[in-house]
Structure 1
Amino acid sequence: MSAPQVLLRPMGPGDHDRVLVWRNLPEVARWMYSDHAITPEEHARWFTGALADARRRYWIIEADAQPVGLANLYDLATEHGRAAWAYYLADPSTRGQGIGAFVEYWVIEHVFGELGLNKLWCEVLIGNEPVWRLHEGFGFQREALLREHVLKEGALTDVVGLGLLARDWAKARAASRARLAARGFDLPV
């Protein structure tokens, strides 16, 4: 079985309504820091800010030409050589196909290659073990356990902080690339 064709394209005005629906899906919202249903007005403010903020970048993840999720950089601090990132797959049918791993590889390559940064970091709710383990598989190291950091469903929950340095990626890149190639993904050179 061949891997889906995955593309990350910049988020644009035409993605406004789709992203609002995605942000409110229970399977997406369960791993976000917020717990409430996002209103159209709240989303409009966020969306406008997301497109205008130079310290953020958003991409729509497409699999076989269909929009299936969102990836982003935030707290992009070129003066410090770092950025944070997050992503989600909104379409449950895409999970388990390696799309998240492809997105991870693409974002890492973008951060250390095109942007020339030194560090990529992220925060993941402790209960989202498949995602923080995926990050570790790409060379991320656990740098923090933020205890009782986020209120989710009425309970305080821990957050795992993970970081990847450019020099760590240089060591992990070949193995990560080989795993994706073995799954049939077409990777840029």
Structure 2
Amino acid sequence: MTRAPVVAMRPLDAVDSARVLAWRNQPEIAAWMYSDHVISPDEHARWFAAALVDANRCYWVIQADGRPVGLANLYDIAPEHGRCAWAYYLADPSTRGQGIGAFVEYWVIEHVFGARGLGKLWCEVLIGNEAVWRLHEGFGFRREALFRRHVKKAGVPADVVGLGLLATDWSAHRQASRTRLAARGFDLGG
């Protein structure tokens, strides 16, 4: 078996600003975001400063074998409603297909339902990003919405899939998810 990369999630820090801007402006990343314009340094600086202090958001740099390779985040964190949303991307193309996205998904789900004690995690995915919405479904997310013509990509309206995972759904999918990741060589701890 090929050794799985050692994946770690570390909090976003001020030193990550230039890296995140470069990642976000990669065409293969922007293609799956709601906005696809080139983000200027000033626009990014405003977003980044807010991201570091906004209690309704939480960001982590995804590291594989000690190298920063992507970004994951929670947003719309609403403890009063017991829910939050999430998103992630792998910016380093060499990391794709290694199961890193699946590891990140598992880690975020465990964090949301464990450490944060929330009852629902949700996300929105462009309909054309089938690999990602299918990955979510493999972890127990259910399609809850289809937002028709929800955003424009390159000037063309695009549909968005809304997916949700309840803590009770996760309890039915957790062991199978752990088993799949362990079979790929990921260390999931206790």
- TM category, shorter: over 0.9
In the alignment, structure 1 segments of 5+ residues that lack a partner are none
Shift of 1:71: 0.1
* Separation in structure 1 between the aligned mates of residue 189 and residue 17 of structure 2, nearest angstrom: 29
Q: Name the structure 1 match of 2:185.
A: 184
Q: Name the structure 1 match of 2:174.
A: 173
Cα deviations by residue, 1:43-70 (Å, 9 ceiling, x for unpaired)? 0000000001000000000000000000
Return structure 1 stretches of 4+ with deviation > 2 angstroms: none
Q: Name the structure 1 match of 2:25.
A: 24
Alignment RMSD, CA only?
Answer: 0.3
TM-score by length of 2: 0.99
* Separation in structure 1 between the aligned mates of residue 29 and residue 36 of structure 2, nearest angstrom: 11
Q: Name the structure 2 match of 1:33.
A: 34
Q: Name the structure 1 match of 2:96.
A: 95
Matched letter for residue 172 of structure 1: H
Matched letter for residue 176 of structure 2: A
* Separation in structure 2 between the aligned mates of residue 35 and residue 72 of structure 1, nearest angstrom: 19
Cα deviations by residue, 1:65-104 (Å, 9 ceiling, x for unpaired)? 0000000000000000000000000000000000000000
Shift of 1:35: 1.6
1:140 aligns with 2:145: no
* Separation in structure 2 between the aligned mates of residue 87 and residue 136 of structure 1, nearest angstrom: 15
Matched letter for residue 151 of structure 2: V
In the alignment, structure 2 segments of 5+ residues that lack a partner are none
Q: Name the structure 1 match of 2:48.
A: 47
Cα deviations by residue, 1:145-166 (Å, 9 ceiling, x for unpaired)? 0000001011000000000000
Identity of aligned residues (%): 74
* Separation in structure 1 between the aligned mates of residue 129 and residue 36 of structure 2, nearest angstrom: 15
TM-score by length of 1: 1.00
Question: SS where residue 3 of structure 2 aligns?
Answer: coil
* Separation in structure 2 between the aligned mates of residue 113 and residue 139 of structure 1, nearest angstrom: 16
Shift of 1:188: 2.1
